[in-house]
Amino acid sequence: MFKTILLVCADDTIGRVDTSTLSQQSLMELFIFGLSNFEDICGSRENPTGVCTWNGVTCNADSEVETFARPYVGADGTGTVDFKYLPCSMTRLNMPGNALVGTIELRDLPKCMNYLMLDSNTLSGTVNLDDLPALIQHVILGENKFTGDISLKRLPKWLHELLLYRNSFEGSICLTTLPPALESLHLDCNRFVGSLDLTRLPQSLETLLLDNNMFSGEIDVGHLPASLVHFSIRNNRLCGTVRTPPGVFCRPRYARSDRVFDGNPDLIIDPQ
């Protein structure tokens, strides 16, 4: 099987392969072929075992691939990820802490995908969040090398978690049309700019991290959701006067603190 796949991959027409005609075994072989040390996953390059026996693969009762996990392999986890080779039955992809490179196309994710974790790699390029599958609930892409603008206006309705920290995203963002189920939004340590409207955040939101960007202007923190506990907007370019909201804290250097506005030299903190 694997020798056949190698020939397909070497063909200049690979971009025109109709993946809908391929078995789940063939699709997953094509997917892991982009990874280093793939023999550790499938057992043998020349004669790979059945996909449901692979390291990191979980199948359902119908022998359909549901999850693939290859976390924290470090420098030995190099390679690229091409979502178009993921079987349509897949719901979870978990590959943090590796050395993955290249770009990703969210539009190629399976429609039933609900969990995508690719943080702490070296992935690059732009990310179009409008292309996320409608059923996805967790998107974790922090600590990569992604760039460009992002839009938060048309995120999936059921999204619970969006973690984009420690990249090089830029431009302004809109926080007034976030999904109603959103619980965690991490945009810290990027290059975002512009003003912030915090008056229409989801009532479900528990964590909002906006620190270490270049946000500017005055902000209204008098309408934060009661559910919000972990909040930080440190090290930006805010101005005006604010009061520290009760019940919220940040964790600079892992120490709990209510100094959520530190590092904004033109912002006055009203001691109440």
261 to each of 79, 244, 270, how far by Cα in Å? 40, 8, 11
φ, ψ for residue 254, nearest 5 deg: 70, 10
Using one digit for the tens of pLDDT, what is the confidence trace for 75-123?
989 999 999 999 999 999 999 999 999 999 999 999 999 999 999 999 9
Instruction: Report if residue 117 sits inside a domain.
Output: yes
CA distance 234 to 210: 7
CA distance 57 to 49: 12
Strand 124-125 and strand 237-243: the pairing is: unpaired
Instruction: Report if residue 251 sits inside a domain.
Output: yes
Checking if the pLDDT of 11 tops 90, the result is no
Instruction: Report if residue 19 sits inside a domain.
Output: no
Instruction: Report if residue 244 sits inside a domain.
Output: yes
The structure tokens 């059945």 sit at: 50
State pTM to two decimals. 0.92
Instruction: Report if residue 173 sits inside a domain.
Output: yes
In this prediction, residue 17 carries a pLDDT of: 65
> Which residue spans within the chain are E strands per DSSP?
57-59, 65-69, 78-79, 92-94, 99-100, 115-117, 124-125, 138-140, 145-148, 161-163, 168-171, 184-186, 191-194, 207-209, 214-217, 230-232, 237-243, 266-270
Instruction: Report if residue 30 sits inside a domain.
Output: no
Which residues 6+ apart lie within 8 Å of 156 measured at CB?
Answer: 132, 133, 134, 135, 136, 137, 179
Instruction: Report if residue 231 sits inside a domain.
Output: yes
**pLDDT band with cut points at 50, 70 and 90 for residue 16:** low
Determine the residue type at 111. Answer: K
Instruction: Report if residue 4 sits inside a domain.
Output: no
The proportion of the chain whose per-residue pLDDT surpasses 70, expressed as a percent, equals: 93
Using one digit for the tens of pLDDT, what is the confidence trace for 239-252?
999 999 999 999 87
The structure tokens 């997953």 sit at: 28
Number of domains within the chain: 1
The CATH code of the domain that includes 223 is 3.80.10.10
Q: Which domain holds residue 250?
A: 58-270
